[in-house]
Amino acid sequence: MGATRWDALRMFTVWFFTASPALVANHRFFAHNAFKVSRVTRVGVAIVACLGLQYGPCWWSSKHRRHHKHCDVDDDPHSWMRTSIWYAWLGWPMAYKEQCIDTEYVHPSMFVDAFTTTSSSNNEKDDQQQQQQKPTFRLPQWLMPPQSIDDTDSDIDIDEKFDGRKKVLAPEMLLMDKLWWVPSVSLQLGLYYIMGFPARSIFLYYTAPVTWVPIPILLFNVMFHPPDQTPTSKGCYALDSLLDPLTFLMGESHHEDHHAFPDRAKRPQLLDLSYWLFIAPMLALGLAWDPKTYNHGAIKRSKVA
């Protein structure tokens, strides 16, 4: 018996409820810090991001922020204008030079202090507290994902964004990047060995649709930066378009606005399902807070500029 319309609907539902939260996690949180969560919750958000099968959140954050910094100019990792439609869509994630985390572009919120301060009692000085610094926990070399700056040999102090303090990428985030494939594989093994679902059902209703999650998301890079678009004063070819149904469902249709206000928690289009289905419940439950917003005055000034 062949697949039915209900099978297709189930597959799309699994696709959407994997792709949309993974994109929220990678794009709005890890790349732009559009809202805040605790360090423990951040690990859970990272697991959701990894289910989207687009490497780890540190890698994703660094590439996307590099794209914003060098939009459609020479150092953009996926510019259709500078390369080709196929490289900008599917080629660049497989390119050897793009396999490492661009550490200097990772959002500052993903770093922790390179040294932790502890206090010890000195009996000879009336229990006066003395401050001692020790290196923060770091992963062993074999668990380290490749980085543009070797996190095992030197502390990160980039562009003075840490006010002179030495920082390193959080070890739990580096571990998630190294083992980005584990959440998806573990979920499928759990469905088979613990929940008892048939292998055929797991493949049809989970493996197959989830494997397709990266394809349209990577296509966004091409669709919203066409080379025939009039560029901004900075040379960026980003545009707004409501014609693509998937980006509309995910709240990502206003791409030019996104380049102007990258850390918006809620997108300006009529219906932002990603916000209402995932971010709003986290805010209501207290798992997230401080969503970034912009007033009309700031938006008008941006359009004039």
**The pLDDT of residue 291 is above 80:** yes
Q: Are 138 and 103 in contact (CB under 8 A)?
A: no
Question: What is the pLDDT, as a whole number, of residue 229?
Answer: 77
Q: Are 57 and 26 in contact (CB under 8 A)?
A: yes
pLDDT digits (tens, 9 = 90+) for 265-276: 999 888 899 999
| Contacts by residues 278-287 (CB-CB < 8 Å, ≥ 24 positions apart) | 278/20, 278/21, 278/24, 279/24, 279/28, 279/34, 279/35, 282/35, 282/37, 283/35, 287/37, 287/38, 287/41
Among the listed residues 34, 8, 30, the one whose alpha carbon sits nearest the alpha carbon of residue 293? 34
Q: If you write DSSP's letter for every residue of 59-93 in order, what string do you get?
A: HHHHHHHHHHHTTTSTT-TT-TTTS-HHIIIIIGG
**What tokens appear for 72 in the block?**
């459609």
Question: What is the pLDDT, as a whole number, of residue 147?
Answer: 79
Averaged confidence pLDDT in the chain: 84
Q: If you write DSSP's letter for every residue of 14-70 in order, what string do you get?
A: HHHHHHHHHHIIIIIIIIT--SEE-HHHHHHHHHHHHTT-SS-HHHHHHHHHHHHHT
Name the residue ranges covered by the structural domains of the chain: 5-115+159-237+278-289
Between these two residues, 162 and 180, which has the higher pLDDT value?
Answer: 180
Identity (one letter) of the amino acid at 11? M
**What tokens appear for 53 in the block?**
């099968």
Residue 160 pLDDT grade (very low, low, confident, very high; cuts 50, 70, 90): very low
Question: What is the pLDDT, as a whole number, of residue 133?
Answer: 62
Question: What is the pLDDT, as a whole number, of residue 143?
Answer: 75
Residue 156 pLDDT grade (very low, low, confident, very high; cuts 50, 70, 90): very low
Listed range (92-96, 147-151, 280-284) with the worst mean pLDDT: 147-151
Question: What is the pLDDT, as a whole number, of residue 206?
Answer: 95
pLDDT digits (tens, 9 = 90+) for 54-67: 999 999 999 999 99
Question: What is the pLDDT, as a whole number, of residue 300?
Answer: 46
pLDDT digits (tens, 9 = 90+) for 226-249: 888 777 767 788 888 888 888 888
CA 198, chain centre distance (Å): 32
Question: What is the pLDDT, as a whole number, of residue 269?
Answer: 85
Q: How would you classify the pairing of strands 115-122 and 36-37?
A: unpaired
Q: Are 52 and 22 in contact (CB under 8 A)?
A: yes
**What tokens appear for 222 in the block?**
């091409």
Q: Are 20 and 251 in contact (CB under 8 A)?
A: no
Q: Are 64 and 31 in contact (CB under 8 A)?
A: yes
Question: What is the pLDDT, as a whole number, of residue 89?
Answer: 94
User: pTM value?
Assistant: 0.85
Average pLDDT over residues 27-43: 96
Question: What is the pLDDT, as a whole number, of residue 139?
Answer: 76
Identity (one letter) of the amino acid at 93? P
**The pLDDT of residue 187 is above 80:** yes
Beta strands in 123-217 (DSSP E): 128-135, 167-169
CB atoms < 10 A from the CB of 86, how many?
A: 11
Beta-carbon-side half-sphere exposure of residue 148 (alpha carbons within 13 Å): 15
Question: What is the pLDDT, as a whole number, of residue 164?
Answer: 59
